[in-house]
């Protein structure tokens, strides 16, 4: 009779026991109706106390109450450039060790850190905040793959991108990763990231990609053939990911005596049956070699080995057998833990989570078991249950496993699980929360590194997993876009933001991004050609040019370049803003300096869209009419204008006289501009009257205009001098 052991729940049924099954009729149990408890809502909800009635009114100057504002508590937030205000010990060791005593107050006792308000700047890992060119180039290559496998649309006037359904993007990622690995074109700082990304891509191919015996999108995912094909592909992935660790272990064991059994255990943990048989044969362990060759295949072999182990335990023979050798037999028998006469033997004790999962898949589960069966068995191994304690290592991410020995038990419990484990859970249960899978700390130690999370999210969307909360999606997109901004990869940050589903949020995020980086877009701003980044934004991402020009106009306004602002506002088709800028900052100087062609070039595009310009007839149209008057005056001087042309523009000149007076004249330059325009208009009007009295004079000389202007200015000067003589004695008397 078989003896019960601690590992009884993990032991597969022995093939020797084939009793006939007897079906016993039983009545259906009666289900008691459970009446839910009533939900009692509070009768009154406390409202915010007005600040004037608060107990902290006029008591806001205490440092210990720094989080009290307007009579209420709030969390102190972050300031610019990662400056943070908080209470307690500084995070910087230098600040903690610095002397807080200053000058004559050094003799006074210093308060404790609990009552001190600390203002400090938090530093970020330079490897993350200051990437090298290789990191940027490789990240851009990944995003190029995603761009080539995205669907484009225009939603509410804003471009939008979404991952294309299917697995083409996944296989393109794998091909790119293989190319970069073969060329050794990865940064030293990105080695852990690319290793984790390779593991994730490989697992996604095994679970959702095209593998031998299963083609994504065509085969039935619930069929037995598909389940077995996915099981085999997962097995291949586990062999590949554990190969490096096993090679490292076996290399170290070569230099130790009597270590061939440990080497066999290491090879078995990676399903390297041929290598394990080779080691056993070289050590003249021929019987063990035969057992290894048959292990994990036939349930009959497992049952025989289970009987043998039970007999050894029954007769206390296992006390005289080496523990590692017993572990080999237990693994081949499908017993990952076995309670021997000398204690509990745990074959997963020193294994990482991938090899522990592999042991359950290859040796514990039946050959017909699915991925879900193996994952459930492994999950029980590290969580434990009522009849079995935990015996395997939880699925920690790689950066946690590297420093696992230095972590306390509380830190281990708070550590996140690996992204690959979450993907396995998602494959077995589509209802798994995606925001937990896509948390950055499941792959990398930094909460601000969204590279793997965003790319994986795009892949999961292409696989059909669309149940991520909209708020979590926006947080992921904006977080990765901020990272790309910090890396000075503006076009790709815009590409990421264009994946936001809500059109209003997407539009605001994109336009805010353009405004923040308008200085980069404004390099060579007066050139008619687009820069490389602007070309990418417009041609590949389909960002409207008017948005780009609007951002450049905002930057020009911030630096006081009103000429560039007017040009960019015109290109952005913001006619009212362009009209206002020209009138307030450019038209006055252009008239004074007689830059008529320049002013006409600014106003001509607005004249073609005058219907959309507010108060065009009292603004830009006045200046355009004045420019026509000036050109007519020049033609009169050169005797190119005749009576017909003068009569044609007579109504325009007559109306211009009144409209000039309505122009803005708040500053001295504006008043000078208004006077200049009035002078030119009156000169032309005088010429018209002269020609009307004597039609034989079909032109007017420049000397006559100069004489008339000199007479007016002399008269004004004489009036000013007479006024000066009148007020000078009174001013002198007042000074004395």
The answer to whether residue 27 scores a pLDDT higher than 60 is no
Name residue 211's beta-bridge partners.
Answer: 214
pLDDT tens per residue across span 463-487:
999 999 999 999 999 999 999 998 9
In the predicted structure, residue 85 carries a pLDDT above the cut 80 = no
Structure-model confidence comparison of residues 166 and 22, the more confident one = 166
At residue 17, the pLDDT reads 36
Residue at token pair 């000066």: 724
Q: How far apart are CA 239 and CA 438, in angstroms?
A: 25
Confidence of residue 169 (pLDDT cuts 50, 70, 90): very high
Reference 319, options 301, 303, 342, 353; nearest CA is 342
pLDDT-based confidence at residue 23 (cuts at 50, 70, 90): very low
Neighbours of 14 (CB within 10 A): 18
Structure tokens at 381: 């191994």
Of the candidates 171, 235, 237, the one whose C-alpha atom is nearest the C-alpha of residue 199 is 237
Span 345-372, mean pLDDT? Answer: 94
In angstroms, the CA 246 to CA 354 distance is 12
Higher pLDDT, 29 or 319: 319
First-to-last alpha carbon distance for the chain, in angstroms, is: 131
The pLDDT-based confidence of 325 (bands split at 50, 70, 90) is very high
State pLDDT tens for residues 37-55. Answer: 565 555 555 666 777 777 7
pLDDT, position 496: 98
pLDDT number for residue 535: 93
Report the C-alpha gap between 125 and 445 in whole angstroms.
11
Inform me whether the pLDDT recorded for 335 exceeds 90: yes
For residue 397, what are the β-bridge partners? none
Residues 496-516, mean pLDDT to the nearest whole number = 96
Distances 418 to 391, 411, 415, 454 between C-alpha atoms, Å? 18, 15, 10, 16
Say which residues have a Cβ less than 8 Å from residue 438's Cβ, sequence separation at least 6.
Answer: 453, 454, 456, 457, 468, 472, 476
Phi, psi of 649 (to 5 degrees): -95, 5
> In angstroms, how far is CA 686 from the centroid of its own chain?
69
Q: 195 pLDDT band (50/70/90 cuts)?
A: very high
Of all helices (H) and strands (E), which one includes residue 274?
A: helix 273-282
pLDDT given at position 549: 94
Give domain limits for the chain.
59-90+113-123, 128-209+415-516, 232-393, 535-731
Q: Is 71 exposed, middle or buried (0-12, 13-18, 19+ CB in 10 A)?
A: middle
Ranking 91-100, 239-248, 526-535 by mean pLDDT, the lowest is 91-100
pLDDT at residue 50, as a whole number: 76
Q: Does 107 or 496 have the greater pLDDT score?
A: 496
Judged against a pLDDT cut of 70, whether residue 166 lies above it is answered with yes
456, pLDDT greater than 90 = yes
Q: What residues does 626 pair with on adjacent strands?
A: none
Contacts of 338 (CB under 8 A, 6+ apart): 5, 7, 309, 326, 330, 344, 345
Does 31 have pLDDT greater than 50?
Answer: no
- What confidence tier does 9 reach under pLDDT thresholds 50, 70, 90? very low
Written as six digits, the tokens of 530 are: 């687009």
Q: Which whole number is the average pLDDT over 112-141?
A: 75
pLDDT of 650 reads 76
How would you label 232-271 residue by residue, b for 16+ Cβ within 10 Å and e otherwise? ebbbbbbeebbeebbeebbeebeeeeebbbbbbbbbbbbb
Q: Show the tokens assigned to 187.
A: 């940064």
Residue 644 has pLDDT above 60, yes or no: yes
What integer is the mean pLDDT of 377-402?
Answer: 91
Q: What are phi and psi of 152, to 5 degrees?
A: -110, 145
Neighbours of 134 (CB within 10 A): 15
Write down the pLDDT at residue 218.
79
Mean pLDDT of the chain: 83
3-state secondary structure 75-93: CCCECHHHEEEEECCCCCH
Residues 228-278: tens digit of each pLDDT: 999 999 999 999 999 999 999 999 998 888 899 999 999 999 999 999 999
Q: What value does the mean pLDDT take over residues 577-599?
A: 94
- pLDDT score of 653 more than 90: no
Local confidence band at 2 (pLDDT 50, 70, 90 cut-offs): very low
Structural contact between residues 148 and 123, judged by C-beta atoms closer than 8 angstroms = no
- In the predicted model, is pLDDT for residue 459 greater than 60? yes
Question: What pLDDT, on the 0 to 100 scale, is given for residue 8?
Answer: 42
Beta carbons of 411 and 393 less than 8 angstroms apart: no
Give pLDDT, residue 720.
Answer: 57
- Whether the CB-CB separation of 582 and 622 falls below 8 Å is answered with no
The contacts found for 576-582 with CB under 8 angstroms, 24 or more apart, are 576/612, 576/613, 576/614, 577/553, 578/606, 579/606, 579/613, 579/614, 579/616, 579/619, 579/620, 582/606, 582/620
Q: Is the pLDDT of residue 728 over 80?
A: no
Element (H, E) at 155: strand 150-155
pTM: 0.80
């Amino acid at each position: 009779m078989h003896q019960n052991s601690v590992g009884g729940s993990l032991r597969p049924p022995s093939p020797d026991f084939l009793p006939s099954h007897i079906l016993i009729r039983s009545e259906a149990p009666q289900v008691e109706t459970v009446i839910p408890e009533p939900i009692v809502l509070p009768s009154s909800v406390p409202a915010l106390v007005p600040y004037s009635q608060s107990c902290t009114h006029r008591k806001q100057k205490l440092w210990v109450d720094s989080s009290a504002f307007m009579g209420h508590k709030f969390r102190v937030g972050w300031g610019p450039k990662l400056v943070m205000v908080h209470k307690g010990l500084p995070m910087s060791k230098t600040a903690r060790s610095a002397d807080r005593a200053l000058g004559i107050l050094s003799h006074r006792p210093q308060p404790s850190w609990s009552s001190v308000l600390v203002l400090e700047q938090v530093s970020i890992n330079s490897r993350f905040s200051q990437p090298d060119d290789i990191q940027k180039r490789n990240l851009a290559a990944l995003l190029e793959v995603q761009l080539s496998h995205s669907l484009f649309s225009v939603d509410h006037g804003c471009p939008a991108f979404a991952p294309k359904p299917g697995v083409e993007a996944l296989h393109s990622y794998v091909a790119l990763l293989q190319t970069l690995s073969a060329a050794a074109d990865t940064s030293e700082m990105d080695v852990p990231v690319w290793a984790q990304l390779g593991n994730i891509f490989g697992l996604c191919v095994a679970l959702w990609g095209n593998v031998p015996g299963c083609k994504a999108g065509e085969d039935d995912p619930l069929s037995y053939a598909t389940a077995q094909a996915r099981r085999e592909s997962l097995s291949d992935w586990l062999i590949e990911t554990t190969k490096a660790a096993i090679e490292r272990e076996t290399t170290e064991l070569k230099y130790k005596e009597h270590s061939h059994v440990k080497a066999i255990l290491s090879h078995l943990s990676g399903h390297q049956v041929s290598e394990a048989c080779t080691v056993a044969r070289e050590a003249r362990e021929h019987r063990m070699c035969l057992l290894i060759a048959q292990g994990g295949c036939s349930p009959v072999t497992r049952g025989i080995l289970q009987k043998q182990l039970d007999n050894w335990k029954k007769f206390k023979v296992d006390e005289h057998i080496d523990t590692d050798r017993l572990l080999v037999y237990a693994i081949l028998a499908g017993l990952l833990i076995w309670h021997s006469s000398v204690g509990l033997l745990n074959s997963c004790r020193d294994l990482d989570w991938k090899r522990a999962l592999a042991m359950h898949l290859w040796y514990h589960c039946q050959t017909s078991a699915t991925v879900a069966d193996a994952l459930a068995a492994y999950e029980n191994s590290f969580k434990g249950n009522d009849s079995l304690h935990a015996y395997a290592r939880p699925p920690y991410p790689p950066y946690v496993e590297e420093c696992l020995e230095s972590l306390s038990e509380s830190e281990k419990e708070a550590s996140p699980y690996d992204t690959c484990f979450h993907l396995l859970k998602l494959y077995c249960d589509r209802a798994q929360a995606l925001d937990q899978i896509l948390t950055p700390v499941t792959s990398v130690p930094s909460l601000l590194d969204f590279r793997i999370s965003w790319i994986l999210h795009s892949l999961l969307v292409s696989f059909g997993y669309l149940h991520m909360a909209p708020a979590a999606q926006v947080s992921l997109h904006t977080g990765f876009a901020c990272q790309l901004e910090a890396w000075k990869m503006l076009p790709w940050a815009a590409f990421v933001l264009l994946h936001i589903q809500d059109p209003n949020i997407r539009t605001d995020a994109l336009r805010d991004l353009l405004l923040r980086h308008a200085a980069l877009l404004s390099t060579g701003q007066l050139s008619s050609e687009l820069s490389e980044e602007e070309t990418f934004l417009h041609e590949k991402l389909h960002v409207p040019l008017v948005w780009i020009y609007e951002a450049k106009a905002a930057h020009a306004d911030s630096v006081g370049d009103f000429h560039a602002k007017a040009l960019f506002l015109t290109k952005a088709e913001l006619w009212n803003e362009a009209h206002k800028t020209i009138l307030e900052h450019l038209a006055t100087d252009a008239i004074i300096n007689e830059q008529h062609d320049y002013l006409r070039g600014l106003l001509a595009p607005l004249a073609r869209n005058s219907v959309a310009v507010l108060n065009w007839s009292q603004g830009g149209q006045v200046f355009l009419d004045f420019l026509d008057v000036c050109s007519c005056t020049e033609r009169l001087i050169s005797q190119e204008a005749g009576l017909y042309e003068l009569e044609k523009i007579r109504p325009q000149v007559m109306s211009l006289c009144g409209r000039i007076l309505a122009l803005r004249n708040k500053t001295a330059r504006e008043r000078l501009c208004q006077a200049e325009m009035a002078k030119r208009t009156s000169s032309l009007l005088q010429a018209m009257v002269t020609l009307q009295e004597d039609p034989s004079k079909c032109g007017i000389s420049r000397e006559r205009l100069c004489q008339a202007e000199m007479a007016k200015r002399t008269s004004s000067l004489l009036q000013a001098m007479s006024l000066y003589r009148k007020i000078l004695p009174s001013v002198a008397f007042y000074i004395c």
